[in-house]
Structure 1
Amino acid sequence: MIEKRTYKTYSDEFKKEAVALVTEQGYSVAEAAQSLGVRTNLLYKWKDKLESQAKGIVLDPDERAELKKLRAENKRLKVEKEILKKASALLAQDILLDLNSWKKRPKKGITPEELELQGMAKRLFKDSRQSLGSRELAKALQKNGFPISREKTRRLMKTLGLVVTQRRAYKVTTKRNLTHRVADNLIKMDFNPTRINQVWAGDITYLKTPQGWLYLSIVMDLYSRRIIGWALSERMTVELVMKSLQQAYPRAGFGKYQSG
């Protein structure tokens, strides 16, 4: 009885990380395929498919072959142009030979386990919004089952080009002038009005965003408990409060706000 031939399947994440070895880390397709134990033509298919998906196009086999040929030709022309800029025609051939030898140098092998580690490191770093340093990234990787030291994590971050993005820290920009008069308390702690637009309340808070700290000013109608005006600014100023009031007036049915 002839046994049915089985084929090894690979996850989409594995295919993505395998292609990243070529597109992000300088491996040739043959070197990456050999390190991971997959066929070279299979890795080429994964690479072409991901590139096509990124561009939102799908090519037929003839178009794919023509595109591959054009890319190779374009790459060759770029190399020749760069060589001609740096040397005479006599030296260009020697430089091209040296360049080809450099391109064919053996890459350091990478195992499927190391590829999985790289994929996890990139996902954790992205989820942190590029804020994890080597110490915290090492801890996060260890929690996910990867026994790795901080020193190895530092080298891994360098290999993957993971650079921490420093965010602007919160800083107090406004201080109360104690000589200013405090406004009269007209509500007298009665926060349950009997009709809409009878009593409004306002507040200012600050929010941490990818762009840094921002101040949020809001205006609420205490009867409906609805936010009828809001505004954002990098500074806590009178203008910030006025913008939230200017938005509240027409939303409450009073028309455009008129100062004074």
Structure 2
Amino acid sequence: MHHGFLRCDAELTEKITAVHRASRGTYGAPRVHAVLRREAVQCGRRVARLIRAAGLHGSHHRRRHRTTIPDPQAGARPDLIGRDFTPDPAALDTRWCGDITYIPTGEGWLYLATVIDIASRRVVGWATADHLRTELVADALKAACQQRRPARS
């Protein structure tokens, strides 16, 4: 009986390897298991164990994109809000935070800088550019100041 399991494991490992190869090495145990189930292969929980035993694993081919490079000449800036991001509706235009994201397009990367009012959690300024230089963030801040006209402190 034990030899039967070994033969079944060997046959299942062949099927697992074929599915893994067909995915160009990207499928891990969950996806291999799903393909085998769709093909009505009785496999149960053995798939993960057999994938490990065969030395196979899934991989993803996401491009890494470095977004920020600190300027060694820039001075440290104090944290004036003490990392307190709790919304306070009575404090509109007193605490803003920003973010930068990037979007792949057919013409390359598009960078989006946003400024959010912490009190309302609304975007109060934004800017886009094909670069990640300081002026992108400065343009988003200028847009927020023109839109909201915060009081000077």
Normalised by the length of structure 1, the TM-score is 0.30
Identify the structure with the greater helix proportion: 1
Normalised by the length of structure 2, the TM-score is 0.49
Identify the structure with the greater strand proportion: 2
Structure number with greater CO (CA < 8 Å, separation at least 6) is 2
Q: Flag the structure with larger Rg.
A: 1
